Amino acid sequence: MTWEVLSIIGTIAFAVSGAIIAMEEEYDILGVYILGIVTAFGGGAIRNLLIGVPVSALWEQGMLFQIALLAITAVFMFPNNLLKHWRRWGNFFDAVGLSAFAIQGALYASEMSHPLSAVIVAAVLTGSGGGIIRDLLAGRKPLVLRSEIYAVWAVMCGAAVGLGITSSSFELYTLFILTTSLRVLSYLYKWRLPNRSLRAQG
């Protein structure tokens, strides 16, 4: 049950974020649907490639595709209220998608008995891969590579699942809430990892 719920939460969150960013960039209706779908399922496709699952397995998720399409349609048909609140809630949708998909990816790799390193990679790619593809297709610098702490929270999810710290439904939902909260706090308070610029100091 936990897997299905997390999949639905992540799919809706990322589909909505992809659709809204496409509308911000003034894409046509086809572009909105493509960016929404790619955001929702791109991370899972990359994960499947790296842990040895056929990418075609994604096409077996008929219900999730329908949910994503319905979410994107709602965004396209009723954009005014959604876009008006996007700056306030957009990062929250992204945090929800990151947490849900990172845990889902970690569970996927863990159930295939992959080592801890693979579980963490699966969590990071599932949680942030769709967002990276979304930003690149929208002509933006990927949020995960430049902004507040992002992928670190996916690493935390992967480690918690891979080490067996969280296994029951209650523990996984607690991890989901904790990860979402930390991601929200990291963009509210501008927590950042150290970086070094090579631009010439003028």
Residue 8 pLDDT level (bands cut at 50, 70, 90): confident
- pLDDT score of 76 more than 70: yes
CA distance linking residue 193 with residue 63, whole number of Å: 38
Q: Which of 49 and 59 is assigned the larger pLDDT?
A: 49
Tell me which residue of 180, 186, 184 sits closest to 148, measured CA to CA: 186
Residues 85-116 pLDDT 10s: 666 677 787 788 899 889 989 998 999 999 99
Average the pLDDT over 128-157 and give the result.
Answer: 86
* Mean pLDDT, the chain, whole residue set: 86
The whole model's pTM is what? 0.84
